[in-house]
Structure 1
Amino acid sequence: MAVNKKARREAAARAADERRRAAAKRRLMRNLAIGVGAAIVLVGGLFLLDPQPTLVGETSATAWDLPELDGDGRVALADFEGTPLVAAFFADWCPHCRRELPHYAQVSDDLGDQVAWVGINSANSGSGLGFAQELGIDKWPLARDIGGNNSGSGLFDAHRARGMPLTVFYNPDGSVARTVNQPLTEDQLRAQLAELFGVTG
């Protein structure tokens, strides 16, 4: 008789323990569901408040159309039709870009509207805007490269470039006059412009 009572008590204790565990599990699952739901609502609200831009455009070497580096506008090759154009590709990790772009800025000042200039931030994980401002090219139209093999190098890739820096000289009709995939000094840049477009200053 005593044995039966002991067995019943043990069975009741086990059953109570199982009920406690089941209740705790239900509470945990309910709290997790509430937490996940709250996170979804929060993230959704953030996207509604600050929608992320979709970077779209065209990266053909002779018909490109890219998003502005800073802003909601566009920068396209067609914008410069009728004027020789220098497209300087840059990234803030590129030491050669840091050395040559201040010379480009000086030459662009000297030549005025004889030549158009555009900076194209390519293969760069950051915004590149601070880099452009530091080197004095933020007075030019600035574009962000998109797509490509390096998550933002589509136009760079279209020119079959290998490493930075890259300078592309465009004729007034939008065709490519020359591609230079190496650093240029100020004198070399001026020589290129004189040879290709007859521009001096």
Structure 2
Amino acid sequence: MKKNSIAILILLLVVGWGLYDYSQSNKGQSATTTQPQQTDGIEIGIKKGNRAPNFKLLNLEGEEVELSDFIGKKVILNFWATWCPPCRAEMPHMEKIYSKNSDEVVVLAVNVTSSEKSSGDVQKFVEDFKLTFPVVMDTDGNVSGKYLVYAYPTSLMIDSQGIIREVYLGAMNEDMMKKGISNMN
């Protein structure tokens, strides 16, 4: 009985240390994330009503894309992976929404490349699904870590001012996306 108690205590300490270490390492990872000036009193964060944290990632062509590039448009910020069945199921819906509304809505698809077998899988996926919206690669997992993404897909509906209006865990269909877009300015 004593051995089990000691083992459980050690396990709890290791898990606690791991969580602490993870949170501390994410604090110092600002090389790929940048914060806009907070001038309007809206807190920067990942909850509904927060200003979405800004970040820069490379797209498939190697060009920098920054979330703040899309201020003035509604954004569906989607975290996904090629091996994720629900991600695969929602991509045709994302493409349909983007192709019909690209003048006012951007789908910014953040591939969590750190979870992929190879970055070539991402290019093949984009070609297979004929995706035309921006796809960026989170190669080290810093951005998905900053947004506390623990389920794939995760999507945030961000209004034209950069404010998070809704957070969805799991696949969305076209109707859900339309409803989310209609609730944003």
Q: CA deviation at 1:140?
A: 1.5
CA contact (8 A) 1:59 1:158 kept: no
Distance change in 2, residues 1:154/1:125 (3 Å): farther
> Does 1:81 pair with 2:56?
no
Unaligned residue ranges in structure 1 (runs of 5+): 1-55, 147-151
Q: Structure 1 segments of 4 or more deviating over 6 A?
A: none
Specify the alignment match of 1:193 in structure 2: 181
> Does 1:132 pair with 2:126?
yes
Structure 1 CA distance for aligned equivalents of residues 95 and 162 of structure 2 = 22
Specify the alignment match of 2:146 in structure 1: 158
Q: CA deviation at 1:64?
A: 0.6
Counting only pairs closer than 5 Å after superposition, residues 43-122 of structure 1 correspond to structure 2 as 57-58=32-33, 62-68=53-59, 70-122=60-112
TM-score normalised per structure 2: 0.66
- The farther-off stretch of 106-115 and 171-180 is 171-180
Q: Specify the SS of the correspondent of 1:183.
A: coil
User: Can you list the C-alpha shifts for 1:145-184, whole angstroms capped at 9, x where unaligned?
Assistant: 14xxxxx322222222222011111122223222211111
- The farther-off stretch of 98-107 and 109-118 is 109-118
Q: Which has the larger radius of gyration?
A: 1
Q: Specify the SS of the correspondent of 2:177.
A: helix
Greater RCO structure (CA 8 Å; 6+ sep): 2
The one-letter code of the counterpart of 2:91 is: L
Number of corresponding residues: 135
Unaligned residue ranges in structure 2 (runs of 5+): 1-30, 36-51
The one-letter code of the counterpart of 2:123 is: L
Identity of aligned residues (%): 21
Structure 2 CA distance for aligned equivalents of residues 102 and 158 of structure 1 = 27
Equivalent position to 1:173, from 161, 173, 176: 161
- Between Structure 1 and Structure 2, the one with more helix by share is 1
TM-score normalised per structure 1: 0.61
Specify the alignment match of 1:53 in structure 2: none
Specify the alignment match of 2:135 in structure 1: 142
CA RMSD of aligned residues (A): 1.8
